[in-house]
């Protein structure tokens, strides 16, 4: 019989190779195990199905996110080309003119390319900043804009940053204090909304993998463009906009649908920490982790990123509980112990993983 439990099998290199048909030796070994243990065959087949579904799932998600990024870069590149294309607008021009136009375009394109590449001598083309879970970075961009990048996030600077628009792309959470320059709007692109500003301070939370996208404004004013919804929204100080991904409802979903009703969507006031009247959305920039009436599902996600530790919640009911609290420089154990007081649960830490149950 098998000596491994389900989880061990699902993470077993040779078992995964068998499921994916990626290694002759592993495939033969497992086919033999299945033949020798007819009683376990059905169960192994179930686990194999889970691995295959996971394989398809990760491929879909990876491609979706990479294609979105590529699409965004193509769009940016074409905006640059569009600014020189009026030359092509005139129809029925003579061949000579066409050649001349082509030459001009070539020169224009070369010049633009040269300009772009030379202006980036200090910031390379592939300029991006990445933080791991449990890590934060403070940056100053070439225009003087200050950025604090929260954990598990990536900020990419457009190759033509500063020539016209100041474009950056964000997957994750960041606080921006934008250097004022009315002639060069600062734009934060995310997969689901773009945020355009002149000079202001605001927080963007846009993890590609999260359901919730939000922008909170501290001062100044910003304009949001929601991509799918194709509408724009003006934000005023101490307001935030929350965008929720509508997940397809699955009839047999075991995972709870959490907080959809509890957590609002749309234009909302920022949350205020009653203890020190600070703004919760940007508390992370001061090394403080804070929740105000936050569903446990969100709390867990924040803690995972903050401390870089995977957390497993064994009971879906817990995910809907609301928590309030703020912590600075405390260990994850201290935070969990404090939260236990408000609505009880138990937790234990083993092998760099935290398990939470009722």
Q: Which of residues 293-352 bind other proteins (CB under 8 A)?
A: 301, 304-305, 310, 312, 314, 316, 351-352
Task: By CB under 8 A, tell whether 58 contacts other proteins.
Answer: yes
Contacts of 235 (CB under 8 A, 6+ apart): 202, 215, 217, 221, 222, 223, 224, 241, 267
Taking residue 134's Cβ as centre, other Cβ atoms within 10 Å add up to 14
Instruction: Quote the CA–CA distance of 262 and 324 in Å, as a whole number.
Output: 14
Residues 131-150 that bind other proteins (CB under 8 A): 132-133
Chain-centroid distance of CA 119 in Å reads: 29
Look at the block and give the residue holding tokens 């009703």.
261
In the complex, the smallest distance separating the C-beta of residue 239 from other proteins, rounded to whole angstroms, is 28
In the complex, the smallest distance separating the C-beta of residue 59 from other proteins, rounded to whole angstroms, is 5
Task: By CB under 8 A, tell whether 106 contacts other proteins.
Answer: no
Of 2, 4, 21, 266, the residue at the interface with other proteins (CB under 8 A) is 21
In the complex, the smallest distance separating the C-beta of residue 278 from other proteins, rounded to whole angstroms, is 26
Of 51, 141, 224, 235, the residue at the interface with other proteins (CB under 8 A) is 51
Taking residue 200's Cβ as centre, other Cβ atoms within 10 Å add up to 19
Chain-centroid distance of CA 162 in Å reads: 24
Contacts of 44 (CB under 8 A, 6+ apart): 2, 9, 30, 33, 34, 37
Q: Which helix (H) or strand (E) holds 64?
A: helix 38-82
Task: By CB under 8 A, tell whether 40 contacts other proteins.
Answer: no
How is residue 262 written in tokens? 């509890």
Of 28, 32, 37, 62, the residue at the interface with other proteins (CB under 8 A) is 62
Task: By CB under 8 A, tell whether 55 contacts other proteins.
Answer: yes
In the complex, the smallest distance separating the C-beta of residue 275 from other proteins, rounded to whole angstroms, is 29
Of 171, 177, 281, 294, the residue at the interface with other proteins (CB under 8 A) is 171
Task: By CB under 8 A, tell whether 99 contacts other proteins.
Answer: no
Instruction: Quote the CA–CA distance of 161 and 167 in Å, as a whole number.
Output: 6
Nearer to other proteins, 47 or 279 (CB): 47
Instruction: Quote the CA–CA distance of 215 and 224 in Å, as a whole number.
Output: 9
Task: By CB under 8 A, tell whether 77 contacts other proteins.
Answer: yes
3 state DSSP class of 94: coil
In the complex, the smallest distance separating the C-beta of residue 142 from other proteins, rounded to whole angstroms, is 19
Instruction: Quote the CA–CA distance of 193 and 127 in Å, as a whole number.
Output: 21
In the complex, the smallest distance separating the C-beta of residue 273 from other proteins, rounded to whole angstroms, is 25
Task: By CB under 8 A, tell whether 264 contacts other proteins.
Answer: no
Nearer to other proteins, 3 or 126 (CB): 126
Task: By CB under 8 A, tell whether 287 contacts other proteins.
Answer: no
Nearer to other proteins, 247 or 337 (CB): 247
How is residue 145 written in tokens? 């804009």
Spatial contact of 310 and 352, defined as CB atoms under 8 Å apart:
yes
Task: By CB under 8 A, tell whether 10 contacts other proteins.
Answer: yes
Of 2, 28, 32, 59, the residue at the interface with other proteins (CB under 8 A) is 59
Residues 177-236 that bind other proteins (CB under 8 A): 207-209
Nearer to other proteins, 22 or 274 (CB): 22
Instruction: Give the largest CA-CA distance in the chain.
Output: 82
């Amino acid at each position: 019989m098998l000596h491994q439990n389900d989880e061990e099998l699902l993470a077993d290199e040779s078992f995964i190779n068998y499921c994916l048909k990626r290694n002759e030796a592993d495939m033969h070994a497992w086919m033999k195990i299945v033949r020798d243990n007819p009683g376990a065959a059905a169960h192994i087949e179930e686990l194999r199905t889970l691995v295959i579904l996971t394989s398809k799932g990760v491929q879909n998600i990876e491609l979706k996110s990479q294609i979105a990024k590529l699409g965004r870069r193509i769009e940016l590149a074409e905006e640059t080309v569009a600014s020189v294309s009026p030359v092509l607008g005139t129809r029925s021009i003579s061949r000579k003119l066409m050649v001349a136009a082509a030459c001009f375009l070539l020169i224009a394109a070369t010049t633009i390319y040269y300009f772009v590449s030379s202006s980036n001598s200090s910031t390379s083309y592939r300029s991006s900043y990445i933080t791991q879970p449990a890590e934060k970075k403070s940056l100053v961009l070439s225009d003087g804009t200050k950025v604090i990048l929260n954990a598990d996030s990536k900020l990419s600077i457009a190759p033509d940053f500063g020539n016209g628009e100041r474009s950056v792309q964000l997957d994750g959470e960041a606080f921006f204090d934008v250097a004022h320059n009315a002639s060069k709007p600062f734009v934060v692109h995310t997969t689901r909304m773009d945020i355009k500003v002149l000079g202001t301070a605001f927080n963007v939370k846009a993890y590609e993998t999260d359901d919730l996208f939000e922008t909170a404004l501290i001062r100044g004013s910003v304009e949001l463009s929601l991509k799918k919804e194709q509408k724009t929204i003006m934000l005023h100080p101490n307001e935030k906009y929350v965008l929720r991904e509508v997940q397809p409802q699955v009839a047999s979903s075991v995972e709870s649908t959490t907080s959809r009703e509890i957590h609002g969507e749309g234009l909302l006031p920022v949350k205020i920490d009653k203890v020190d009247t600070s703004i919760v959305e940007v508390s992370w920039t001061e090394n403080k982790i804070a929740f105000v009436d936050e569903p446990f599902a969100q709390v867990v996600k924040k803690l995972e990123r903050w401390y870089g530790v995977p957390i497993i919640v064994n009971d879906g009911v817990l995910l809907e509980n609301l928590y309030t609290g703020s912590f600075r420089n405390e260990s994850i154990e201290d935070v969990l112990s404090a939260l236990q007081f408000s609505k009880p649960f138990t937790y234990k830490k083993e092998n760099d993983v935290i398990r939470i149950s009722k």
